[in-house]
Structure 1
Amino acid sequence: MNIMETSLPGVLVIEPKVFGDHRGWFMETYSEEKFREAGLDLKFVQDNQSFSATKGTLRGLHYQLAPKAQTKLVRCTRGRIFDVAVDIRKGSPTFGKWFGIELSEGNKKQLLVPKGFAHGFMTLTDDVEVQYKVDELYAPECDRGIIWNDPTIGVEWPVELAEPVLSAKDQAAPSILDAENNFVYGE
């Protein structure tokens, strides 16, 4: 397993080792021991999976407030996505900065999005499945979001569409400056 840092401290790209032969391939997508050896002490408590039928579907930017904040380990198991993490920790030197990466069934990369970061993705193909582990259960009372096209953040989504496919909740999300947020850098 190869663990790479990104431009946002704490946001990591995980490349599992893939073992292939004439039958196909095998990989470990998560190993508590290997993560711990890399300094990542996480205990995942829930696995989630989403399906998006249409290219250009955008989910996010989502997060849960503390004390129900979640670290996510995200991977795309069918199709391709552009996956994004945004630093929303008040006082952080990278507040409002984003990191994006393509995750796909082909490249098998994963993105670790820690607490204090909003997360979202856009589908780059039709019929996309995304799976992710979280270290805190879903808490609807703590569920929050930031508008996908907030000019303060300036995510460069790769698919040029008149309008992405969004949920009503994501269409009505506030800007990063107006969003309810209890994350403070260094806490």
Structure 2
Amino acid sequence: MRTRELAVSGAFEFTPDVHADQRGVFVSPLQEDAFLAAVGRPFPVAQTNHSRSARGVLRGVHFTTAPPGQAKYVHCARGRALDVVVDLRLGSPTFGAWDTVDMDEGTCRAAYYPEGVGHAFLALADDTVMSYLVSTGYRAERELAVSPLDKDLALPWPVGVDFVLSDRDRLAPGLAEATARGLLPRYADCARA
């Protein structure tokens, strides 16, 4: 398992070894020893999530209020996606920074995102399946979003894609508005999680 620290403090990319033969493929996208070595603490799984998207579907930038926040471990089980993490934690040394992870079913690359950061992805192929392990269960009142098309964030979406967004994501505030409205989590609260 190879790891890479991302530009957002506390976020990591994990690339496992893929074992292929005439039968198919075997891979372990999450390996505790590698995770502990990179992150320094175990990942408590409270829920698993699964989404399937057509090419051009853009989901996010989603985050959960803190406390308690929600950490995520994400990988692409089928298809291909451009996965994005954005630091939304007020007071973070990397506030406003973002990074990307190219995910597909061949590499089984995964990413860990700590509490308080935003997550988005763009499906680059039909029937793209994303699998999430999350540290807290779903609570609708704690789920918020920042616009994935916010010009101030300037996320690196490919040019020429006709994005398919939910109404929630289309109407989400930009980073400046979310900050002004007091919607963003505080780094200190997330660090305690």
TM-score (norm 1): 0.91
1:138 matches 2:138: yes
User: CA offset at residue 40 of structure 1?
Assistant: 3.3
User: CA offset at residue 125 of structure 1?
Assistant: 1.1
Instruction: Give a deviation string over 1:29-80, Cα, whole Å, max 9, x none.
Output: 2233442344232111111000112x11100000110123111111111111
Instruction: Give a deviation string over 1:148-181, Cα, whole Å, max 9, x none.
Output: 11122110102523x4100011111001122211
Gapped regions of structure 1 (runs ≥ 5):
none
1:177 matches 2:176: yes
Report what 1:157 is aligned to. Answer: 157
Instruction: From the two aligned structures, give the one with the greater helix fraction.
Output: 2
Is the contact made by 1:124 and 1:159 (CA closer than 8 Å) also made in structure 2?
Answer: no
Structure 2 CA distance for aligned equivalents of residues 61 and 112 of structure 1? 15
1:52 matches 2:49: no
Equivalences for residues 30-69 of structure 1 within 5 A:
30-38=30-38, 39-53=40-54, 55-69=55-69
Report what 2:8 is aligned to. Answer: 8
Structure 2 CA distance for aligned equivalents of residues 112 and 134 of structure 1? 10
Residues 37 and 156 of structure 1: CA distance in aligned 2, closer, same or farther (over 3 Å)? closer
Residues 5 and 37 of structure 1: CA distance in aligned 2, closer, same or farther (over 3 Å)? closer
RMSD: 1.6
1:120 matches 2:114: no
Structure 2 CA distance for aligned equivalents of residues 177 and 139 of structure 1? 25
Residues 37 and 155 of structure 1: CA distance in aligned 2, closer, same or farther (over 3 Å)? closer
Q: Which moved more, 1:116-125 or 1:93-102?
A: 93-102
The alignment of Structure 1 onto Structure 2 pairs a total of residues equal to 185
Residues 7 and 34 of structure 1: CA distance in aligned 2, closer, same or farther (over 3 Å)? closer
Gapped regions of structure 2 (runs ≥ 5):
none
Is the contact made by 1:68 and 1:139 (CA closer than 8 Å) also made in structure 2?
Answer: no
Is the contact made by 1:65 and 1:182 (CA closer than 8 Å) also made in structure 2?
Answer: yes
Is the contact made by 1:56 and 1:159 (CA closer than 8 Å) also made in structure 2?
Answer: no
Q: Which moved more, 1:42-51 or 1:173-182?
A: 173-182
Structure 2 CA distance for aligned equivalents of residues 37 and 97 of structure 1? 24
Report the secondary structure of 1:4's partner residue: strand
Q: Percent identity?
A: 37
User: CA offset at residue 146 of structure 1?
Assistant: 0.2
Report the secondary structure of 1:41's partner residue: coil
TM-score (norm 2): 0.89
Is the contact made by 2:82 and 2:123 (CA closer than 8 Å) also made in structure 1?
Answer: yes
